[in-house]
Structure 1
Amino acid sequence: MPLTVATWNINSVRLREGLVTRLLREEAPDVLCLQECKSPVEKMPLAAFEALGYRWAAARGQKGYNGVAILSRLPMEDAGSADHAALGHARHVAGRLGDGTVIHNLYVPAGGDVPDREANLKFDQKLRYLNDMRDAFHADRPRRAILVGDLNIAPREDDVWSHKQLLRVVSHTPVEVEHLAETQDAGGWVDVTRQDIPEGLLYSWWSYRAADWDAADKGRRLDHVWATPDIASAAHSSRVLRSARGWEKPSDHAPVFATFDL
């Protein structure tokens, strides 16, 4: 059965409820994972999404910051959450579908502006968060699982508009890329997006600071879809919905999709 999963850093689910409902109506993924919801769970507009057929949800939230949610039109149970690096942040939630597939939705800390863990607490938190993810996958290697989310790292040279200029910019520094690779290796995760689109520049985030984000096209691929080896070969049709970055009052991220024949 085809399963289409989408991930989107929505940058406030209440402010951009209309954009989420537009995506659900026009694209109709089976599962939509949202990050940076910036809302307690009880104030997320889950009823509006349920009215569109997304009857199942798993969410973790907090006022004004972070927050993750999984919306599904397939039966799904809440499979828990992890507090990596003991930050007390709502950055992870998991859902288990009826066929046993587990979907992990993650929002890795952005890491601040200075790529120095001694001078910048946020950067240290980011690296510790990734280390805890790595250790969790080493301790309990995932099976039949999909991991999506805003991982806040663009690992490849063609995941950023200028590899050379961004080597010392948080999200593309060698230490971050190394930590992400260790995390990926620990779970045996396959980068589904790059499995399907192996070559060429590919972005999912464009800064609000650009006067014309589309013309400047200085993007980064911060949003990812991974899968365990036992189901990665069933993935196909990966894409970034770039046009959503140009919707009215948009998030600075675009949704990323992948379909699995499970």
Structure 2
Amino acid sequence: MAFSLSTWNINSVRLRMPIVEQFVAAHQPDILCLQEIKCQNHEFPMEAMQALGYPHVLVHGQKGYHGVAIASKLPLTEDYRKDYCGVGDSRHISALFEVGGRRIRVHNFYVPAGGDEPNREINPKFGHKLDFVEEMKVLSATAEPQTSAILVGDLNIAPLEHDVWSHKALLKIVSHTPVETEGLLEVIQKGGWVDLMRELVDPSQKLYTWWSYRAKDWDAADKGRRLDHIWSSPDLRPALKSIDILREARGWDKPSDHVPVTVHFDF
């Protein structure tokens, strides 16, 4: 049975609903996980999302900032949200669904960006990010009996050398500093997660999901980073068929600086 799931930092779902509609019309993922929706729960465009064929929608929003949502063609149960770092931010939501005789929990994350200065002593935002990642280290891919797991989202860290346009140039830039990359790799290792994008694309190859708004010509400059991720429990690896990074979406009208990433399984 074919199954697909997409993750996308939409950078305001109300502002960018037209490109959500454009994406869904062409790609029709079974589940769409959005980050940085930037709206409260009651402000989410629920009717528009349901009209696209997603009757099951879970929203964990907050006013003006952050926020995550899961829109699904399949029923969602056991909705759970964890308040990482205990500051009340809407940065995590998870739920269970069933497909192909499997029970799967999907986690949708929006990890803090961390500000501009990679020093927690002078930049509390960076400290918050490190603390958030530290708390993620206890999240196990095999935490629930007879339940597989998928973790997606804008994790705001490009952990590998070729997840950025220049490893050397970005070593002191937030999202690719050693303390961040080592921390995220430890989340993967401790939790028993499989980095599905790098299962299919060798770590020696460049791989990006984000291009800055600051670039005059993002496509020509191609100074990207892989900030968006799709991981799974090991038992789902044999069912993995492909992953699509929709680079062209960065050039759509009023785009997000992130593009949709879609994983395809055959159960």
Pair 1:104–1:4, CA change in 2 (3 A): same
Instruction: State whether residues 197 and 238 of structure 1, in contact with CA within 8 Å, keep that contact through their aligned partners in structure 2.
Output: no
* AA at the equivalent of 2:130: L
* AA at the equivalent of 1:91: R
Q: 1:251 aligns with which of 248, 256, 262?
A: 256
Residue 176 of structure 2 aligns to a residue whose secondary structure is coil
For 2:144 and 2:157, the matched residues in 1 are separated by 22
Aligned residue in 1 for 2:233? 228
* AA at the equivalent of 2:262: F
Taking the TM superposition and a 5 Å limit, the aligned residue runs for 1:1-262 are 1-98=1-98, 99-137=102-140, 140=143, 143-198=147-202, 199-262=204-267
Instruction: State whether residues 141 and 186 of structure 1, in contact with CA within 8 Å, keep that contact through their aligned partners in structure 2.
Output: no
Instruction: State whether residues 162 and 207 of structure 2, in contact with CA within 8 Å, keep that contact through their aligned partners in structure 1.
Output: yes
Task: Give how far 1:95 is off.
Answer: 1.7
Instruction: State whether residues 9 and 256 of structure 2, in contact with CA within 8 Å, keep that contact through their aligned partners in structure 1.
Output: yes
Query: 5+ unaligned residues in a row in structure 1: which ranges?
Result: none
Task: Give how far 1:56 is off.
Answer: 0.5
Instruction: State whether residues 153 and 221 of structure 1, in contact with CA within 8 Å, keep that contact through their aligned partners in structure 2.
Output: yes
Task: Give how far 1:196 is off.
Answer: 1.2
Pair 1:192–1:214, CA change in 2 (3 A): same
Query: 5+ unaligned residues in a row in structure 2: which ranges?
Result: none
Residue 57 of structure 1 aligns to a residue whose secondary structure is strand
For 1:257 and 1:139, the matched residues in 2 are separated by 22
Pair 1:27–1:82, CA change in 2 (3 A): same
Task: Give how far 1:77 is off.
Answer: 2.0
Task: Give how far 1:79 is off.
Answer: 2.3
- How much is the aligned-residue C-alpha RMSD, in angstroms? 1.5
For 1:158 and 1:63, the matched residues in 2 are separated by 35
Per the normalisation by structure 1, the TM-score is 0.96
* CA shift digits 1:18-48 (9 cap, x unpaired): 1111111111011110000000011110211
Pair 1:141–1:163, CA change in 2 (3 A): farther
Task: Give how far 1:162 is off.
Answer: 0.4
For 1:138 and 1:239, the matched residues in 2 are separated by 23
Instruction: State whether residues 102 and 146 of structure 1, in contact with CA within 8 Å, keep that contact through their aligned partners in structure 2.
Output: yes
For 2:61 and 2:168, the matched residues in 1 are separated by 37
Pair 1:138–1:102, CA change in 2 (3 A): closer
* AA at the equivalent of 2:255: P
